[in-house]
Chains A and B, each alone.
Chain A
Amino acid sequence: MTSPEPLIQMLEVGKHFGTFQALKGINLNVSKGERIVVCGPSGSGKSTMIRCINRLEKHDQGRIIIDGIELTDDLKDLNAVRREVGMVFQSFNLFPHMTILNNLMLAQKLVRKTPKAEARDVAMHYLERVKIPEQAGKYPIQLSGGQQQRVAIARALCMKPEVMLFDEPTSALDPEMINEVLEVMVDLARDGMTMICVTHEMGFARSVADRVIFMDTGEIVEEAEPETFFNAPRNERTKLFLSQILKH
């Protein structure tokens, strides 16, 4: 099962928005089953980095290779990659005009060409897994933020991805709903899902991450196991950042 080469390879990846350089010389390898937490101040490029992995943003320097497929303008390759990479957004981004069940079935039917009955079973399976099967017939707006985010996770899982990307999945949530989402993520990690999470939930990082990456001004500044990262950060910027977010 384990392939000799990493599932995700980023080689000297750069990205510009106009003249602003959002990413500079990013090198990152992620192996199958690895759990990475990415943190850093806002504007540091962490979201841009994971958005490049499923090409919601196009990198303009370097190479990104996912499971042996290099990300280029080739649509066929891109679709192959997107099927393998699930993504969860800060603002949930559920399809507002569809019921929860249809949110989970749409891409299965259109992209995976799964027959309707099977897609429905898969959808219900993952709704059970995120513990809200009873909401299947409702519309997104009728759910709480935490429930919506769990649905969004289930929707991505329905595509049976190899990797899950999380872009600040708890930042838009009320405090009392953060845990229910983190629990689902911890559960996922326990099952061996390869995950890259942009998050400031340091408790999650400590307990789940194999590696923590700290980014600032578009660069990876520090990369270490959580133990080392939190107790003995080497870089000054990392120290400053940690002191700011762990102060309270």
Chain B
Amino acid sequence: MSFDLSLIAEALPKMLVGIGLTFQLLILSAILGLILAIGLMLMRISGKWYLSWPAQVYIYVFRGTPILVQIFIVYYGFPQLDFIRDSFLWPIFRDPFGCAIVALTLNTGAYVSEILRGGVLGVDRGVLEAGEALGLSKPQRFIYLTTPIATRLALPAYGNDIISLLKSTALASTITLMDMTGIARTIVAQTYAPYEIFISLAIIYMILTFFIQKLLARIERYLGRYAEREG
């Protein structure tokens, strides 16, 4: 078979039109997912069974099922429920974009909460004891000691999840969204040239990943400046 470069040149600008939507999906669900994850993590480490137990069930359910299935359930399933159609949430679930955001947020929240919990558990007990001995209250220790140290510890794994989330946004194309992947699929349907189009699509995702990696490395260096011996 032949590899048609002119086809790629034609398709690339079209696919890049979808980059805005890809970024909207990524950034919105990353932010909402982080908020959800913080809530879940706090429930999980609260030491109270009636908080930690629901959080564990939630995490189990969302890590235990494919994200594609979750997207389908939110998109095809929720609108069938009368109480959702009647509620203020309906505008969100009526819209495929809203459904994609909800599904991606719920999914990433489950994973990130465990990443954050790992960070919190990694904080040296002795450091917290020193804070306690100095008279810092429990909330003060959490805000001034645990949070900054745990953030630093959790960052590499968190970055991994953000990159994974970027790729998950491609699944939004299955529920009619015209993100980069959605556009690529349309072009393939018109040109019957899956090879060229999907390879160029893959390269775009790789380039985006490269920049996200760079950004994360920079944040890591900034947050980790205290861990370097040279001042």
Q: Is A95 within 8 A of B136, CB to CB? A: no
Q: Are A106 and B144 in contact (CB under 8 A)?
A: yes
Task: Given contacts A56-B129, A97-B148, A106-B144, list 13 more A-B pairs with CB under 8 A.
Answer: A82-B133, A93-B124, A93-B126, A95-B130, A96-B149, A97-B149, A97-B226, A106-B134, A107-B136, A110-B144, A111-B134, A141-B227, A142-B231
**3 closest A-B pairs (Cβ-Cβ)?**
A93-B130, A107-B134, A111-B135
Q: Please, what's the 1-or-0 string for A103-131, where 1 marks a CB less than 8 Å from any CB in chain B?
A: 00011001100000000000000000000
B226 touches A54 (CB 8 A): no
- Choose one: B130, B136, B231; the contact of A138 (CB below 8 Å): B231
Q: Assess whether B133 is in contact with A141, with CB atoms less than 8 Å apart.
A: no
Task: For B203, list chain A residues within 8 Å (CB).
Answer: none
How far, in Å, is B32 (CB) from chain A's closest CB?
27
Contacts of A98 in B (CB 8 A): 226
- Within 8 Å of chain B (Cβ to Cβ): is A198? no
Say whether B135 contacts A141, CB under 8 Å.
no
Q: How large is the interface on A (under 10, 10 to 19, 20 to 34, 35 or more residues)?
A: 20 to 34
Any A CB within 8 A of the CB of B140: yes
Query: B residues engaging A (CB < 8 A)?
Result: 124, 126-127, 129-137, 140, 144-145, 148-149, 152, 225-231
Interface of chain B: mostly helix, strand, loop or mixed: helix
Partner of A95, one of B131, B225, B227, B228: B131
Contact B136 A139 (CB under 8 A): no
**Chain B residues positioned under 8 Å from A197 (CB to CB):** none
Question: CA separation between A85 and B226, bound complex, in Å?
Answer: 29
Q: Please give the distance in Å from A101's CB to the nearest CB on chain B.
A: 13
Which residue in A56, A86, A96, A110 is a CB contact (below 8 Å) of B127?
A96
Inter-subunit contact B135/A89 (CB<8 Å):
no
Interface residue ranges of A70-113 to B (CB < 8 Å): 79, 82-83, 85-87, 89, 91, 93-98, 106-107, 110-111
Are the C-beta atoms of A89 and B226 separated by less than 8 Å?
no
5 chain-A/chain-B pairs, Cβ below 8 angstroms: A82-B132, A89-B126, A94-B127, A96-B149, A139-B225
Contacts of A150 in B (CB 8 A): none
Contact yes or no, A111 B136, CB < 8 A: yes
A102 vs B132: C-alpha distance in the bound complex, in angstroms?
16
Asked if A93 contacts B127 (CB within 8 A), the reply is yes
CB closest chain-B residue, reference A111: B135
Contact between B130 and A94, CB atoms less than 8 A apart: yes
CA distance A142 to B230 in the complex (A): 7
Rounded to whole angstroms, the CA-CA distance of A98 and B124 in the bound complex is 14
Q: Report the nearest B residue to A152, measured CB to CB.
A: B130
Is the CB of A155 closer than 8 A to any CB of chain B? yes
How far does the Cβ of B65 sit from chain A's closest Cβ, in whole Å? 37
Cβ B227 vs Cβ A96 within 8 A: yes
With contacts A56-B129, A139-B231 known, is A96 near B135, CB below 8 A? no
Near B by CB (< 8 A), chain A positions 128-145 give 137-142
Q: Which of B126, B134, B228 contacts A155 (CB 8 A)?
A: B134
Minimum CB–CB distance for B42 against chain A, Å: 20
Q: Contact at A95–B145, with CB atoms within 8 Å?
A: yes
Residue A156 interfacial (CB < 8 Å): yes
Contacts of A82 in B (CB 8 A): 132-135
Bound Cα distance from A111 to B140, whole angstroms = 9
Chain A residues, CB < 8 A from B127:
93-96
Q: Does A196 contact B (CB under 8 A)?
A: no
The one of A96, A110, A141, A155 in contact with B229, judged by C-beta atoms closer than 8 angstroms, is: A141
B135 contacts A142, CB within 8 Å? no
Shortest B77–chain A CB gap in Å is 45
Tell me if B227 and A93 are in contact (CB < 8 A): no
Does chain B have a CB within 8 A of A7? no
Closest CB-CB distance, A9 to chain B, in whole Å? Answer: 20
Beta-carbon nearest neighbor of B230 in chain A: A142
| Bound CA–CA A94/B226 (angstroms) | 12
* B134 close to A96 (CB less than 8 A): no
CB pair B133 A56 closer than 8 Å:
yes
Are the C-beta atoms of B126 and A107 separated by less than 8 Å? no
Question: Is A10 interfacial (CB-CB < 8 Å)?
Answer: no
Q: A82, A86, A95: which has the most chain B beta carbons within 10 Å?
A: A95
